[in-house]
Amino acid sequence: MSDPTTPVIADSGAKPAGDKAPDEWKPEPRQWTWKDVFTAPMLAFKPKCMLISAITVILLALWFKLFAELPEGWPRWVMSALDYAWGMVALTIFSLAATLVAVFMKADLLDDEFLSLGEALTQYKKRIVPALLVPLFLTGLLAGFKLLLAGAELVGSIPMAGPTIYAILYPLGYLLALFVVLLGIAVVLSVFVFPSIIAIRKHGWFDNVVDTFEAVGTKPHILVGSLALTVVLITVSAWIGFGGMRQLTETSKTMPGEALKETERQAALTHDKVLSKITMDANAPSADLFRPLIGYMASQVAFAEPPTRVFWTSEGATPEPSSYYKWTGGATGIWQIIIGAFVLGYCLNLFIGGGMLTYLVVREDDYWDDEDLEDLDQLAKELEEEAKQEAAKESAGAPANSMTAHTVPPSAPPPPPPPPPAAAT
């Protein structure tokens, strides 16, 4: 018997959205391979993410620029501690931005290419704490073992007894130092994947740390190979991106007259003035992790010749260019810096996207029984189930947006008309 309050369900046997989907609807988890890393250039091309990454690159450059302004004369151990703390903060800045970019990339991999900024921020709010604590824990763990190694060295520096202890226990010290080196390599490699882990996996922050070490430790050869391939893609992309501006500069040199030449020279002067304020020139060892990317801001954008000090006109030589060419050169220089920042943002997106695709390759496949996991395969399965249920409703003739439709038995007589008002008395 049909209940008049039962929602319309298709004849295909689909159940309401609240019921558990049949097992035959579960798609097989996608098998990701290292070849998927070649799709990172398409995954990285999102203007919103490029803007976020460009701002991140500039913030990192300014942060290490501030380190260069610190007064000199500090003891060596103080400068070493400050350098490490500077690197921890820089990695946290990177983590916050990279996690937001990874949220957009995860949506792209789920074919949700039109994820709005508001929707992305809603998902991102749940990941701010892991984005803060994961890099701090990783770098803090490495700092703790470095302090332990320094303490052992301090004991060995005690006169007379210290060198004797150092010589006898040298194998143990070597094992500790070797562990510190391996842990440092693991932390460096984790920068490649942990923002994607935070964005993909719905775990607590410490579970994200464990996931990161599992991703780095299970298949390190794939991780290193994918990182090398991603670096190649970043290098080629930067060469192409900045090559467009370089081509304009080189072509302007072949044009008659001095108008375009002087405009490009004044643009180079604008580079010198602006980029000198944000170019990272700190000698901090922790800056080496970000220096290759940020270095493009100065080395790739400022490629024009220095501006001339004598400007030639039809009336002869003048000591300075006219205000017209100062304006055109300044505007051109600003445009080149903006475009260069977006190119750098794209390069950083490539790094994040390569890390996400690499993580999908090296991750474990036993995710189906984890109810707290927000994995791409699990999300894709849920979206496919919802789409099939909607298609089943449409094929049964029910409106797609109707949630209150009722079934009527085909042989049931129509309901009796209501009694006349007079019968109410």
**pLDDT tens-digit map of 111-128:** 666 778 888 888 899 899
Residues 6+ apart with CB under 8 A from 343: 237, 238, 241, 242, 296
DSSP element (H, E) containing 316: strand 316-318
pLDDT of residue 34: 79
**pLDDT tens-digit map of 204-243:** 889 899 889 988 988 888 899 999 999 999 989 988 988 8
N-terminal to C-terminal alpha carbon distance within the chain: 36
What is the C-alpha separation between 176 and 55, in angstroms, rounded?
Answer: 39
pLDDT of residue 414: 58
DSSP element (H, E) containing 249: helix 220-252
Tokens encoding 152? 């052992």
Beta-strand ranges (E) seen in 361-415 are none
- Region 135-159: mean pLDDT is 91
**pLDDT tens-digit map of 180-206:** 999 999 999 999 999 999 998 877 889
More confident residue, 108 or 93: 93
What is the C-alpha separation between 198 and 210, in angstroms, rounded?
Answer: 11
- Region 10-30: mean pLDDT is 45
Query: Which among 398, 275, 270 has a CA at the least distance from the CA of 327?
Result: 270
Query: Which among 388, 336, 287, 415 has a CA at the least distance from the CA of 4?
Result: 415
Sign for the CA dihedral angle at 185, 187, 191, 196 comes to positive
The mean pLDDT of the chain is 76
**pLDDT tens-digit map of 254-287:** 888 778 888 888 888 887 777 776 665 556 666 6
More confident residue, 2 or 392: 392
Q: Judge whether residue 364 has pLDDT over 60.
A: no
The full length of the chain comes to: 425
Answer yes or no: are the C-beta atoms of 229 and 223 closer than 8 Å: no
Q: How far is CA 11 from CA 20, 94, 399, in A?
A: 17, 52, 15
pLDDT of residue 320: 54
> Across-strand partners of 312?
317
Answer yes or no: are the C-beta atoms of 88 and 140 closer than 8 Å: yes
Residue 44: strand, helix, or coil: helix
Q: How far is CA 173 from CA 150, 179, 204, in A?
A: 10, 10, 34
pLDDT of residue 246: 85
**71-75, 126-130, 345-349: range with lowest mean pLDDT:** 71-75
Residue 292: strand, helix, or coil: helix
Q: Judge whether residue 411 has pLDDT over 90.
A: no
3-state SS string over 22-52? Answer: CHHHCCCCCCCCHHHHHHHHHHHCCHHHHHH
- The amino acid sitting at 75 is P
Answer yes or no: are the C-beta atoms of 132 and 92 closer than 8 Å: yes
Q: Judge whether residue 99 has pLDDT over 60.
A: yes
